[in-house]
Amino acid sequence: MAMEDQWSFITSEQQMHIKTAIEKSLAEGVAKINEYLEEQNNTPLKIAVTGECGSGKSTFINAFRGINDSDEGAAPTGVVETTTEVKAYPHPNLPNVTLWDLPGVGTPNFPADGYLKKVGFEKFDFFVIISAARFKENDVRLALEIKRMGKKFYFLRSKIDFDISNEERSKINFDRQETLKAIRENCIEGLRHEGIEAPQVFLVSSLELHQFDFHLLEETLERELPEHKRHAFVCALPKISKEIIKKQKDAYQAQIKYYSAVSSLGAAVLTSGLSNVDMALVKKVVVQYVIGFGLDEKSLKRLSDSSGVPYSELLSVMTSQLGATTITDELIQKLLKQSPIALALIAAEEISRFFVVIGIPVSMILSGVSTYKILKLFLNVVADDAQRVFEKAVKKTQ
């Protein structure tokens, strides 16, 4: 399967709508493509997280969102029950993705009977059930009810780093993999005993998401989510592995052909090389890349705080000038001047407009090609910077 096919989000029906719109007018065609792009980039994803007091659900919510427990807007954590109501925590960079902190099932205000109805289960895309020990009767009852109502659920065994550390201190012949296997099998056996068929349990440390089973959880969710939700999920994932950064790059890459189509259609009525409309489009998408990969100033400062790597050091490993700065037309133009291929394409588009008979169709093609190449250039640069920043942060914490 080609990568862009894997991340295709405009259906055959929508493509027919685009074709019909173009036949009416180029402007309607542009509007229709933009409509579907905006729809994709703003698809809501609502993740419910529940568990008993002390299970670590609030810390997991914060870690998934790439923020620290002490940051403004963080889900409150503590050794006593801090979640007394259903509360939403939007992703700091992608507000369409929201993690919902649910009170533990069986608490006085949220008894097991009628729990899902009270928390408004129908609005959630899937549930994450977290425990810091064995999953209990209320966890199982909740899972079975979620399944009965046609929703997905996933068991997370949290605070694995503490278990591993304790085992290592207490055993002379400590075996990390055997310990993890024993914890997982213990959880699975308990869930089977309570009536859960073929349970999957993911071992996770919110303080070290790049360790243990988070990558398995991520791959499972990506596979099982509806196609139109997958883009939002992947783009919201914390930048904790090379594989996640690669997937995010592939997801953004799949959209470039649609942006280039917008540029092509717009070129039929515009009169300059990289036009103001094209520049606005390029700038908008580049800003999306910078924020999506967590290279904006706020994201980098949060990463600096959590990783212990000075903010200046994170900036120092970035080769582009796009991170932690305001993206302007002037900056885009300056960076394009450093790319001979981009300059050649823009020049060819400008020259094509001198042709009276074939100028418009040629310029349409060249404008689309220019936009495609330019966006791909910026995407590669930003993704490479994200990789360098990730490696710098992880190296410090290892």
Residues 66, 166, single domain; the answer is yes
Provide the pLDDT confidence category of residue 2 given band limits of 50, 70 and 90.
Answer: very low
Q: Note whether 219 and 74 are same-domain residues.
A: yes
Domain end point (choices 235, 269, 303): 235
22 in the same domain as 143: no
> Domain boundary at 209, 235, 261, which?
235
| 245 and 310 inside one domain | yes
- pLDDT tens per residue, range 204-263: 999 888 889 999 999 999 999 988 899 999 999 998 889 999 999 999 988 888 888 887
Most confident range, picked from 46-50, 370-374, 391-395: 46-50
What integer pLDDT is reported at residue 355 of this predicted model?
Answer: 44
Residues 209, 313 within the same domain: no
Same domain membership, residue 285 and residue 192: no
Kindly report the pTM of this predicted structure.
0.83
pLDDT grade for 396, boundaries at 50, 70 and 90: low
> Do residue 364 and residue 218 come from a single domain?
no
User: 342 lies in which domain range?
Assistant: 3-41+239-397
Average pLDDT of the residues in 157-168: 91
pLDDT at 129 over 90: yes
The predicted pLDDT at position 111 comes to: 72
Query: What CATH number should be reported for the domain holding residue 191?
Result: 3.40.50.300
Last residue within a domain, chosen from 177, 202, 235: 235
Residue 357 has pLDDT above 50, yes or no: no
**154 and 252, same structural domain?**
no
* 18, 102: one domain: no
Q: Are residues 99 and 155 in the same domain?
A: yes
Residues in the chain, overall count: 398
- Same domain for 230 and 108: yes
Overall domain count for the chain: 2
Statement to judge: residues 37 and 70 lie in one domain: no
